[in-house]
C-alpha cells in the first residue's frame, strides 16, 4: 500500500545570483505493509475516555480519541503492538471524541492540511505556505549548495514509515506494550490521581517521570490501582463509576511480554523512590540513562550500596530500591534469560 506524504525542508545555496536559504516541499511516496485482521489479531482493548475530569486536556487529549465503537485497541503483529488509529489521532491537540477509523485516503487528506505528522513524530517535516512546491529533487536548480536538509528529511521519513501498518486498509501505528498509568491529577481538580491505559513509549518506558509524575503497572493491576485512585479522589462515587468502565481487556495474553513487565516494575519502584525524595537524591535519575537492563540493574545495586547508610539514617524509603533490585534478580530466575528493554517507538 502506498501513501503520498508532503515533506518540507530547506536548502542553503545559490540560484542565479542569489544566495540564501530556500524552502521546498515535495510529496514523497512511502510503502506501508498491508495485512489482514487474521494476521494481526486484537491484543488489548479499552474504552476511550468520555470524562476527562482531572486530566490535563493538552497532555491527555489522546485518551478520548476512540473509534466509532468507543474503543481503543492494539493489534499484535511481527512481535509488537500496533495502535488502531482514528481520524481524531491526526489532530495533536484535538478535542476528544469518537471518529471513523483512519484510512489511507483520510491520512493523506490530513497531511495536506498539516495534520497527521504527530502520528509519526514528524511535525518538523510539515511544510508551510512559504515552502515552494517541487515535483522532483530541486538541487539541480542550484549552482552551489552550502547545506541541504533534503537527505535528512528523507531519512527521517523512511525511518518513520516502519511505524505504520495497514490492517485491511485501516492504519495502525507501532506503539509500546499497553500499560496502566497512575498519574498526578490536575491541581484544580478533585482527583489526587488519574488512571488510564497508555501506549506512548516515552511515558511507559522512557524518562518522563518527573514532569508527568507517572507510575507504570501491568494490565492485571488495574483493579488495585483503581482502588488507589478512588481513595485519593474527592468524589469517590464518580471515580468508581468512571474507572469501572475503563478497565482494559487482554484478548491475546501472549502479547504481554513478562520481561517488559519486569523492567517496568523495577523502573516504577525507582521512580517512586526518586519522586518521594526529590530533589534530595541527586544522581539517581542516571538510572534511566542506561539503555540496557543489565546496566540499569548494576547501576542501581552500586548506587544503593554507596548511599544505603546515609539514606537509612535519613529515613528514606530504601526498601523501594531493594524491591527493584529483587525484581531484576527474581526475573532472571523465573524467565531464565537476559532481559532487554522494551523497543522504543
pLDDT tens, position by position, 119-145: 999 999 999 999 999 989 999 999 999
Half-sphere exposure in the Cβ direction for 5 (13 Å, CA):
26
For residue 96, give the DSSP letter.
P
- Alpha-carbon radius of gyration of the chain: 23
Average pLDDT of the residues of the chain: 90
pLDDT at 290 over 60: yes
Instruction: Tell me the three cell numbers of residue 275.
Output: 519522586
**Band (180; pLDDT cuts 50, 70, 90):** very high
Q: Three-class SS of residue 84?
A: strand
* H or E segment and range at residue 181: strand 179-184
**Band (344; pLDDT cuts 50, 70, 90):** low
Which sequence spans correspond to the domains of the chain?
A: 257-345
pLDDT at 66 over 90: yes
User: CA–CA separation, 89 vs 63, rounded Å?
Assistant: 10
What percent of the chain shows pLDDT beyond 90?
Answer: 71
Query: Phi first, then psi: what are they for 305, rounded to 5°?
Result: -60, -35
Query: Phi first, then psi: what are they for 19, rounded to 5°?
Result: -110, 120
Instruction: Tell me the three cell numbers of residue 182.
Output: 497512575
For 30, 70, 273, the CA distances from 48, given in Å and listed in that order, are: 30, 6, 31
Q: What residues contact residue 270 under an 8 Å CB cut-off, 6+ apart? A: 284, 287, 288, 300, 320, 321, 324
**Band (188; pLDDT cuts 50, 70, 90):** confident
pLDDT tens figures, 314-338: 999 999 999 999 999 887 666 655 5
**Band (93; pLDDT cuts 50, 70, 90):** confident
More confident residue, 169 or 277: 169
Q: What residues contact residue 57 under an 8 Å CB cut-off, 6+ apart? A: none
More confident residue, 218 or 205: 218
More confident residue, 345 or 177: 177
What is the pLDDT at residue 221?
Answer: 95
Residue in the block written with cell 511505524: 163
pLDDT tens figures, 262-289: 999 999 999 899 888 887 777 788 888 8
User: CA–CA separation, 192 vs 213, rounded Å?
Assistant: 12
User: CA–CA separation, 102 vs 91, rounded Å?
Assistant: 12
> Do 219 and 179 meet the contact criterion of CB atoms below 8 Å apart?
yes
Strand partners, 12: 21, 147
pLDDT tens figures, 209-259: 555 678 999 999 999 999 999 999 998 998 999 899 999 999 999 999 998
CA angle, residues 250, 116, 9, in degrees to nearest 5: 135
pLDDT at 339 over 70: no
What is the pLDDT at residue 1?
Answer: 84
SS3 for 141-159, per residue? Answer: HCCEEEEECHHHHHHHHHH
What is the pLDDT at residue 330?
Answer: 84
What is the pLDDT at residue 176?
Answer: 95
Long-range own/partner contacts, residues 271-275 (CB < 8 A, 24 or more apart): 271/209, 271/214, 271/215, 272/215, 272/317, 272/320, 273/316, 273/317, 273/318, 273/320, 273/321, 273/324, 274/209, 274/210, 275/209, 275/210, 275/213
What is the pLDDT at residue 52?
Answer: 86
Half-sphere exposure in the Cβ direction for 109 (13 Å, CA):
7
User: CA–CA separation, 101 vs 85, rounded Å?
Assistant: 6
What is the pLDDT at residue 113?
Answer: 93
For 181, 190, 240, 242, 272, the CA distances from 53, given in Å and listed in that order, are: 16, 8, 13, 10, 24
**Band (28; pLDDT cuts 50, 70, 90):** very high
What is the pLDDT at residue 139?
Answer: 94
pLDDT at 39 over 80: yes
**Band (341; pLDDT cuts 50, 70, 90):** low
Amino acid at each position: 500500500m502506498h501513501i503520498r506524504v508532503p515533506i518540507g525542508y530547506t536548502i542553503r545555496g545559490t540560484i542565479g545570483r542569489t544566495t540564501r536559504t530556500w524552502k521546498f516541499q515535495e510529496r514523497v511516496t512511502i510503502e506501508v505493509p498491508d495485512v489482514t485482521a487474521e494476521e494481526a489479531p486484537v491484543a488489548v482493548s479499552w474504552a476511550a475516555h468520555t470524562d476527562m475530569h482531572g486530566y490535563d486536556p493538552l497532555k491527555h487529549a489522546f485518551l478520548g480519541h476512540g473509534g466509532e465503537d468507543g474503543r481503543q485497541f492494539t493489534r499484535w503483529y511481527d512481535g509488537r503492538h500496533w495502535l488502531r488509529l482514528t481520524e481524531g489521532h491526526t489532530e495533536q491537540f484535538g478535542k476528544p471524541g469518537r471518529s471513523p477509523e483512519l484510512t489511507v485516503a483520510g491520512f493523506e487528506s490530513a497531511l495536506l492540511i498539516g495534520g497527521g505528522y504527530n502520528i509519526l513524530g514528524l511535525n518538523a517535516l510539515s511544510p508551510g505556505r512559504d515552502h515552494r512546491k517541487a515535483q522532483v529533487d530541486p538541487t539541480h536548480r542550484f549552482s552551489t549548495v552550502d547545506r541541504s536538509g533534503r537527505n535528512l528529511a528523507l531519512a527521517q521519513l523512511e525511518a518513520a514509515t516502519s511505524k505504520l501498518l495497514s490492517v485491511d486498509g485501516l492504519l495502525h501505528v507501532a506503539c509500546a506494550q499497553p500499560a496502566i498509568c497512575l498519574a498526578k491529577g490536575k491541581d484544580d481538580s478533585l482527583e489526587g490521581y488519574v488512571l488510564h491505559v497508555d501506549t506512548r513509549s516515552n511515558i511507559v518506558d522512557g524518562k518522563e517521570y518527573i514532569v508527568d509524575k507517572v507510575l507504570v503497572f501491568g494490565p492485571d493491576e488495574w483493579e488495585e490501582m483503581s482502588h488507589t485512585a478512588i481513595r485519593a479522589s474527592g468524589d469517590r462515587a464518580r471515580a468508581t463509576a468512571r474507572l469501572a468502565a475503563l478497565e482494559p481487556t487482554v484478548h491475546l495474553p501472549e502479547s504481554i511480554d513478562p520481561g517488559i513487565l519486569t523492567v517496568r516494575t523495577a523502573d516504577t519502584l525507582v521512580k517512586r523512590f526518586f519522586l518521594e525524595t526529590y530533589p534530595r537524591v541527586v544522581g539517581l535519575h542516571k538510572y534511566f540513562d542506561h539503555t540496557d537492563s543489565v546496566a540499569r540493574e548494576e547501576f542501581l545495586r552500586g548506587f544503593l550500596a554507596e548511599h544505603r547508610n546515609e539514606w537509612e539514617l535519613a529515613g528514606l524509603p530504601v526498601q523501594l530500591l531493594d524491591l527493584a533490585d529483587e525484581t531484576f534478580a527474581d526475573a532472571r530466575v523465573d524467565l531464565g534469560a537476559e532481559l532487554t528493554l522494551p523497543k522504543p517507538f
